Chain A
Amino acid sequence: MRNRGRVSGPGTFTGDPELTGLSNGSSVQVEDGDDLLPAEPLPQLAARYGLKPSAARPPVIRYLADLWQRRYFIVGFATARNVAMYTDARLGQVWQVLTPLLNAAVYYLIFGVILDTKRGVPNFIAFLVAGVFIFNFTQRSFIIASRVINDSLPLIRALYFPRAALPLGYVLIELQQLLVSIVVLITIVLATGEPLTWYWLLVIPVLLLQAVFNVGAGLILARIGAGVEDVSQLLPFIVRTWMYTSGVMFSIQTLKNLTGHHKIAFILQINPAAVYITLVRNALLKSQRLSIPGAAPYNKGLCTLYYKSPAAHLYDSAHCRPLVSNTDLWLYGVGWAIVAIIVGFFYFWRAEARYGRG
């Protein structure tokens, strides 16, 4: 292929149609003295003018600065999408509140009433709704992030901006949605007789950590989803499996089936979704704080009774030894967030120049 069909190679420009036109047989003519092609080798010329390959990605620091400079865009993008999301629905923004409520209602019907998993969990409604809302934040962030690049192709192809702004913006949208859900959740929590305590403030750092984790993981999924369409088809199934194993509608800490399977129970408890869900539950629900293993002094008798006897008191589980303590949960929560955001950022940034290519 080399040299075929070239008008002129770098630095070899002579303006002579004899030399340049013959190889492909077409009537190539380039005027003499045409200043579209100087005599200097083109890569050298580019270097002299300080030009860069146009598909180059900016260095990390520049990229972060660019992102920071686009902060208004990220926020504006998030708000605008949020408004646009329900423009076709007659109820409009009401769906922001209705969607989480209906979600909670469905899970309550299935897992609380029909399957009756609530045995062993005090204040199951609040427990369930907290789990559903918190998991929903991660779930939606993941699924949307995996599609964000392909969904925003016109924008990406038209203008330059750091592409990480898009997954970031979408996680912000979901965070906004979550805040609405949290208001609903708080109403339910108070209505089910839980007291208002200072512990509630802990919800704020937990949600921030979760948001950071979602951004990081979302960046990874955004890059994968941009390259392989199949991912966004597969992801809903993976995320749903994840939901069923993260203790959204049952308590991993006190699940009786898991006694004796320490490794499995441990892994389930430290998975990021379970960590953030448990932390939020412990912050908002006094019934959870008092019933999780480790909440009360270890008492072998009461603990055994809890796992063996169906008639045991709900709060007896507190007398068991915790597999993962509350402090550990916080450490894992911070750890997951940091690992996700660092890995996610670099993974996404490395392919920066490739997004939007069709």
Chain B
Amino acid sequence: MVIVDDLHVVYRVYGAGGDKGTAATALMRMIRKQRRPSIREVHAIRGMSFVAYKGDVVGVVGRNGSGKSTLLRAVAGLLPAEQGAVYSDGHAALLGVNAALLDDLTGDRNVVLGCLAMGMTPQEVKEKHDGIVEFSGVGDFINLPMRAYSTGMGSRLRFAIASSKSHDVLLIDEALATGDAEFRRKSHQRIDELRKEAGTVFIVAHNLNEIYDTCNRIIWLEKGRIVRAGSDVPGILDAYLEASGSEPQYRELRETADASRPAG
């Protein structure tokens, strides 16, 4: 369960241009006791409140720069809140697209280390190992260092590792987007299982079909604020599509699906 209470997140970007960036200019700045040039503040999340319960799969949609990834990192406790707070009932696992856990090591060792880091015993790791490798579908690449992996393989393996244990909160930032159709189907199933184990899952994706398929709740962000939020997934997706100039389709899709289902 995750409670986000009036959350504000501000990034401070140092050295965002300004001077020539040479040693001489840096020295002059220190002599003149000036601060770093142009510390720019980026107000990435401007007051968000919502509650996500156990078993919820919350989809987060919005344009680039609307604060989706920032929100996830704040929920994971990786970004300090400028104001407000995030409450959760455990530690969050955050899966992003950047590939490896430890780049130099083989996929195999990453599996073992990842599992051990999550607190499994060597015995448990042994039991789960083959399942993880098979799920990730990286095949023979498992014996190569992860820096040799494609982005897709890396994030698939990472998802396989992280989802091998149930987490209180699982945050998925576009990590499934790089998978192929088959992997998406499998990960969809896995997320369902995690949901049944009463965790809370957050998914950020630009692929709306994925949100439509997986999520029971949705949050639409714009410029760091919630535009709409709720459990009417098709409705909000359609509104989002409309706002970004596309054709709404999900409500219709849902209705068709409902209609084709045998009545009674």
> Are these two chains actual partners, yes or no?
yes
Chain A residues packing against B (C-beta within 8 Å): 1-2, 4-10, 13, 24, 26-31, 34-38, 42-43, 45-46, 49-56, 66, 69-70, 72-73, 76-77, 80-81, 83-84, 87, 152, 154-155, 157-161, 165, 353-354, 356-358
* Contact A73 to B3, CB < 8 A, known contacts A4-B46, A36-B217, A55-B86: no
For B198, list chain A residues within 8 Å (CB): none
Q: Does B39 contact A (CB under 8 A)?
A: no
Across the A-B interface, give the 3 residue pairs with the lowest CB-CB distance, nearest first. A160-B91, A73-B116, A46-B87
In the bound complex, how far is the Cα of B122 from the Cα of A165, in angstroms? 17
Which of A45, A53, A158 contacts B101 (CB under 8 A)? A158
Which of B87, B112, B227 contacts A53 (CB under 8 A)? B87
Q: Contact between B80 and A52 (Cβ–Cβ < 8 Å)?
A: no
For B105, list chain A residues within 8 Å (CB): 80, 83-84
* Min CB gap B7→A, angstroms: 10
* Min CB gap A58→B, angstroms: 9
In the bound complex, how far is the Cα of B212 from the Cα of A206, in angstroms? 62
Q: Contact between B162 and A80 (Cβ–Cβ < 8 Å)?
A: no
* Min CB gap B85→A, angstroms: 5
* Min CB gap B147→A, angstroms: 10
Number of interface residues of B (CB under 8 A): 68
18 sampled A-B residue pairs with Cβ under 8 A: A7-B225, A10-B5, A26-B223, A34-B231, A35-B231, A36-B217, A37-B229, A42-B6, A45-B51, A46-B87, A53-B86, A56-B77, A73-B119, A77-B113, A87-B145, A154-B101, A157-B73, A165-B117
Among A6, A76, A160: residue with most chain B CB under 10 A: A160
Q: Contact between B226 and A28 (Cβ–Cβ < 8 Å)?
A: yes
* Min CB gap B51→A, angstroms: 6
Q: Contact between B88 and A51 (Cβ–Cβ < 8 Å)?
A: yes
In the bound complex, how far is the Cα of B84 from the Cα of A46, in angstroms? 13
Q: Does B48 contact A (CB under 8 A)?
A: yes
* Min CB gap B193→A, angstroms: 19
Q: Contact between B145 and A52 (Cβ–Cβ < 8 Å)?
A: no
In the bound complex, how far is the Cα of B94 from the Cα of A160, in angstroms? 9
Within 8 A of A (CB), among B1-25: 1-6, 8
Besides A28-B225, A54-B87, A354-B80, 14 more A-B contacts (Cβ < 8 Å) are A5-B225, A26-B222, A26-B227, A31-B232, A36-B217, A42-B3, A54-B88, A80-B105, A80-B109, A80-B113, A81-B102, A158-B93, A159-B118, A357-B79
* Contact A53 to B85, CB < 8 A, known contacts A37-B49, A38-B51, A157-B94: yes
Q: Does B177 contact A (CB under 8 A)?
A: no
Cβ-closest chain A residue relative to B56: A36
Q: Does B208 contact A (CB under 8 A)?
A: no
* Min CB gap A296→B, angstroms: 53
Q: Contact between A36 and B230 (Cβ–Cβ < 8 Å)?
A: yes
Q: Contact between B92 and A160 (Cβ–Cβ < 8 Å)?
A: yes
Which of B46, B78, B98, B230 contacts A31 (CB under 8 A)? B230
* Min CB gap B236→A, angstroms: 9
Which of B46, B80, B229 contacts A34 (CB under 8 A)? B229
In the bound complex, how far is the Cα of B53 from the Cα of A34, in angstroms? 13
For B117, list chain A residues within 8 Å (CB): 70, 73, 77, 155, 159, 161, 165
* Min CB gap B19→A, angstroms: 18
* Contact A42 to B48, CB < 8 A, known contacts A27-B227, A54-B92, A159-B114: no
Q: Contact between B162 and A158 (Cβ–Cβ < 8 Å)?
A: yes
In the bound complex, how far is the Cα of B230 from the Cα of A37, in angstroms? 9
Q: Contact between B46 and A5 (Cβ–Cβ < 8 Å)?
A: yes
In the bound complex, how far is the Cα of B229 from the Cα of A28, in angstroms? 10
* Min CB gap A355→B, angstroms: 9
* Min CB gap A144→B, angstroms: 14
* Contact A80 to B102, CB < 8 A, known contacts A5-B224, A49-B1, A158-B158: yes
Q: Contact between A30 and B230 (Cβ–Cβ < 8 Å)?
A: yes
In the bound complex, how far is the Cα of B230 from the Cα of A80, in angstroms? 45
Q: Does B179 contact A (CB under 8 A)?
A: no
Which of A31, A66, A80, A159 contacts B228 (CB under 8 A)? A31
* Min CB gap B34→A, angstroms: 18
* Min CB gap B263→A, angstroms: 26
Which of A27, A49, A77 contacts B89 (CB under 8 A)? A49
In the bound complex, how far is the Cα of B48 from the Cα of A9, in angstroms? 8
Cβ-closest chain B residue relative to A43: B5
Q: Contact between A157 and B78 (Cβ–Cβ < 8 Å)?
A: yes
Q: Does B47 contact A (CB under 8 A)?
A: yes
Q: Contact between B8 and A356 (Cβ–Cβ < 8 Å)?
A: no
* Min CB gap A260→B, angstroms: 41
Q: Does B75 contact A (CB under 8 A)?
A: yes
Q: Contact between A7 and B162 (Cβ–Cβ < 8 Å)?
A: no
Q: Does B180 contact A (CB under 8 A)?
A: no
For B113, list chain A residues within 8 Å (CB): 73, 76-77, 80
